[in-house]
Amino acid sequence: MTGALAGTSTTVSYIESSAGVAAGGRSGVTAIVTGLLFLVAMVAAPFVGMVPGAATAPALILVGSLMLTTVTEIRWTEPLAAVPAFLTLILIPLTYSIANGLGFGIIAWAVLHIAAGKLAKKDWLLYLLAALFLVRFIYLSAN
């Protein structure tokens, strides 16, 4: 909630938290350190903004290529997994938003599973998220 009040998408806070867990952080200390570093980043942001975009492009390309290493773990032969993954992958850069890309991917996942008749009680939260994202996209398109 604090991230949202500061103008940061809550998806960004989630991704930073899951990155800490993936790196081995299992306690709340990783979240505290991440939060403190975000505070430092808020102070440093105006100075970083002085760096031209062309100077940061090589670093972004490197980070993007490192992120794509996990794409090999996607089950590309299974449409129920491949289509939402592809939509998420392609729509994050096309919409300039991690939240929008994830939203479209979650909606596609839910729609495909419903259409295939593969509803599962254990996935109720994903169906709820898909509905919320759908409401969000409808609301944003109306304004």
Q: What is the DSSP letter of 27?
A: S
For residue 107, the model assigns a pLDDT of 96
Percent of the chain with pLDDT strictly greater than 90: 35
For residue 99, the model assigns a pLDDT of 85
For residue 82, the model assigns a pLDDT of 95
pLDDT in tens, 2-22: 666 666 666 565 666 666 677
CB contact set of 116 (below 8 Å; sequence gap of 6+): 80
Give the tokens for residue 52: 């031209």
Is the whole model's pTM more than 0.75, yes or no?
no
**Other Cβ atoms closer than 10 A to 88:** 20
pLDDT in tens, 63-112: 888 888 889 899 999 999 999 999 999 998 898 888 899 999 999 999 99
Query: In which element (H, E) is residue 111 found?
Result: helix 98-115
Residue spans of alpha helices (H) in 23-95: 29-48, 53-67, 79-95
